[in-house]
Amino acid sequence: MYADGYIDIVQETIHRAWYEQKEQIMKASQAIREALMNHSGVFIFGCSHAGILAEEVFYRTGGMAVINPIFFPGFMLNTRPVTMTSQLERVDGIGKILLEQNGLAAGDVLIIHSVSGRNNVPVEMALEARAKGITTIAITNVAYSSSVSSRHPSKKRLFEVCDILIDNKGEVGDAAVSLKGLPERIGPTSTACGTALLNGIVIETVGQMLALGEVPPVFVSANLDGGDEHNKAIFEKYKDQIHYN
């Protein structure tokens, strides 16, 4: 099958990204755990396809209720024309506005996902967040980002301006598979690898909380008996750290 190589690449990329970055992954989990135990907020942001990771980890079965996505209509994939998402990601000022309007403050954690890490909005958000005392976690592709110039006025890329760096270990350009007769590569790995890394970080965070005697706010399926009641209790207990309800 043509796709066998892709499945192998995804598995190898996830494995390499996880096992080569245990120290950074631990730092990310510790930062999130400390923020939660200090009653601060945890937020996640990405533009266009990078925003899929934000959708992956909020308000879902087996996820932590206190991870808050930052969604902006112009960056979502239902934007029409969808090409506008690429244009808006390069506009100065939007990142600062999003940070302020979503109420992030010192002590919070902000996860920013950008595969190329070169565009204005994610870099601006990281710089503004660090200036406010917010811990920043980048999920990006270091090889890809290192091969391109920054579009931000600082000339910095995301991996250069965040406190904690998680590399998705993907190919330059993200697509990973070459097929005979096709000059372009096909098969991006950033979403599959990014979601695996991010869910792993969440699990590690939950484990750390349990080890300290804390009860983590983990959703169960609303389609299980008792699920609605369980989740309602979480919303009530953590209402000051949940900003999407």
Rounded to 5 degrees, φ, ψ at 68 are -105, 120
Question: What's the pLDDT tens digit per position in 11-56?
Answer: 999 999 999 999 999 999 999 999 999 999 999 999 999 999 999 9
Question: What's the pLDDT tens digit per position in 83-102?
Answer: 999 999 999 999 999 999 99
Q: Which pTM was predicted? A: 0.97
Q: Using the predicted structure, report yes or no on whether residue 82 has a pLDDT greater than 90.
A: yes
Nearest 5°: the CA angle 109, 112, 117 is 145
pLDDT over 90 percentage in the chain? 99
Question: What is the rounded CA–CA span in Å between residue 205 and residue 231?
Answer: 19
The pairing of beta strand 186-188 with beta strand 175-177: antiparallel
Helices 190-211 and 22-37: crossing angle in degrees, nearest 10, is 60
DSSP 8-class letter at 193: H
Architecture of the domain made up of 4-237: 3-Layer(aba) Sandwich (3.40)
Q: Which residues pair with 165 in a beta bridge?
A: 138
Alpha-carbon 197 to chain mean position: 9
Sequence spans of domains, the chain: 4-237
Tokens of 70: 């930052």
DSSP string for residues in 156-209:
--HHHH-SEEEE---BTTBEEE--TT-SS-EEE-HHHHHHHHHHHHHHHHHHHH
pLDDT band at 64 (very low <50, low <70, confident <90, very high): very high
- pLDDT of amino acid 212: 97
Question: What's the pLDDT tens digit per position in 106-156?
Answer: 999 999 999 999 999 999 999 999 999 999 999 999 999 999 999 999 999
**8 A C-beta contact, residue 143 and residue 170:** yes
Burial 157-176 (b: 16+ CB within 10 A, else e): bbbbbbbbbbbbbbbebbbb
Question: What is the rounded CA–CA span in Å between residue 135 and residue 217?
Answer: 21
**Residue with structure tokens 């120290």?**
23
Computed over every residue of the chain, the mean pLDDT equals 97
User: Residue 40: helix, strand or coil by DSSP?
Assistant: coil
- pLDDT of amino acid 132: 98
- pLDDT of amino acid 245: 78
